[in-house]
Amino acid sequence: MSDIDALVSGFGDFKQEYTEDRTGKYRELIDEGARPKIMMVACCDSRVDPAIITNSKAGDIFVVRNVANLVPRYDADIAHSETQAALEYGVCFLDVDHLIVMGHSRCGGIRSLLTRMIDGYDADHPLAHWTGIAQGVAEQVVAELGSADLDELSCECSRRALSVSLQNLMSYPWLRDKVEAGELDLRGWYFNLALGELDELNQETGQFQALC
DSSP annotation of 188: E
Question: Cα–Cα distance between 53 and 108 in angstroms, integer?
Answer: 19
Lowest-pLDDT range, 1-5, 72-76, 89-93, 186-190? 1-5
pLDDT band at 185 (very low <50, low <70, confident <90, very high): very high
Instruction: Please name which of 113, 144, 147 lies closest in space to residue 130, comparing C-alpha atoms.
Output: 113
pLDDT band at 205 (very low <50, low <70, confident <90, very high): very high
The per-residue pLDDT for range 106-144, each reduced to its tens digit, is 999 999 999 998 887 767 789 999 999 999 999 999 999
Question: Cα–Cα distance between 176 and 146 in angstroms, integer?
Answer: 36
Angle of the 135-145 helix axis to the 108-119 helix axis, nearest 10: 70
Question: Cα–Cα distance between 160 and 120 in angstroms, integer?
Answer: 22
Look up the pTM and report it. 0.92
pLDDT at res. 22: 66
Please provide residue 101's backbone torsions phi and psi, each rounded to the nearest 5 degrees. Answer: -100, 120
DSSP 83-149: HHHHHHIIIIIS--SEEEEEEESS-HHHHHHHHHHHHT----SHHHHHHGGGHHHHHHHHHHHTTS-
Domain ranges of the chain: 1-33, 35-210
The domain defined by 35-210 carries CATH number 3.40.1050.10? yes
pLDDT band at 180 (very low <50, low <70, confident <90, very high): very high
Q: Determine the length of the chain.
A: 212
